Chains A and B, each alone.
Chain A
Amino acid sequence: DIQMTQSPSSISVSLGDRFTITCRASQDIGNYLSWYQQKPEKSPKLMIYRATNLEDGVPSRFSGSRSGSDYSLTINSLESEDTGIYFCLQHKQYPYTFGAGTKLELK
């Protein structure tokens, strides 16, 4: 199975700050990497697909990038509504696997 190592596991950020979450894939997954935001008691919401593509309706302060086997989600100028847990997902190969999640809180 492909392991997705996500970091950090949690982070406290101030409003207006920029921060980045990273997932490292244990095998080649090409650009079959997406990012999800999950609010408490809610279903995950797709934010970024194919590593760098912004899902419709997602604010442009979110962006995705790739460097080799490292995939990153960056939020520029954090807003209060951005708090939650973020997961990466690889859908290159079955079983699809998720990162362990990053809990984003306001400082």
Chain B
Amino acid sequence: QVQLKESGPGLVQPSQTLSLTCTVSGFSLTSYNVHWVRQPPGKGLEWMGRMRYNGDTSYNSALKSRLSISRDTSKNQVFLKMNSLQTDDTGTYYCTRAEAAFPFDYWGQGVMVTVSS
């Protein structure tokens, strides 16, 4: 069945770089888009960026200067890197799947990231 699972450090120091991995199963990264979405504690959802099935990427302009998304199709993994982290980057980070022109149907369980010294 379709599964996505995020992994990465739970604690990052301010000004450091966040590296997260989304490991997928049950579908191919060359057939579906994978997106990253985050949610600060007690707040709403923010779309961060997308890895398209063909390897193209799109980013939220609010994060574009700090954000990079890549993938390794042989390992069924999509990666997120975001630099210059600040305390307001604290939150739960999700990876989620979507077909072109369709919304997110499957989500990972999320990984909580705290930015603190």
Supply 26 A–B pairs (Cβ within 8 Å), ascending by A: A32-B101, A34-B104, A36-B104, A43-B110, A44-B104, A44-B107, A46-B104, A46-B105, A49-B103, A49-B105, A55-B105, A87-B45, A89-B45, A89-B104, A91-B102, A94-B50, A94-B58, A94-B60, A95-B60, A95-B61, A95-B62, A96-B35, A97-B47, A98-B44, A98-B45, A101-B45
Grouping DSSP codes into helix (H, G, I), strand (E, B) and loop, the B interface class, with mixed when no group exceeds half, is loop
Q: What chain A residues lie within 8 Å of B88 (beta carbons)?
A: none
Let me know if B108 is at the binding interface, CB within 8 A.
Answer: yes
Q: What 6 pairs across the A-B complex have the smallest Cβ distances?
A: A34-B103, A43-B107, A96-B47, A95-B60, A98-B45, A100-B44
**Minimum C-beta distance from B103 to chain A (A):** 4
Q: What chain B residues lie within 8 Å of A34 (beta carbons)?
A: 103-104
Interface mask (A63-107 → B, CB under 8 Å = 1, otherwise 0): 000000000000000000000000101010011111111000000
Question: Among B47, B58, B103, which residue has the most Cβ atoms of chain A within 10 A?
Answer: B103
Residues of B within 8 A of A (CB): 35, 44-47, 50, 58, 60-62, 94, 96, 98, 101-105, 107-110
Residues of A within 8 A of B (CB): 1, 32, 34, 36, 43-46, 49-50, 55, 87, 89, 91, 94-101
**Additional 4 contacts, C-beta under 8 A, given A44-B94, A46-B103:** A32-B103, A87-B45, A95-B47, A98-B47
Q: What chain A residues lie within 8 Å of B98 (beta carbons)?
A: 91
| Bound-state Cα–Cα, A96 to B104, Å | 11
| Bound-state Cα–Cα, A13 to B97, Å | 32
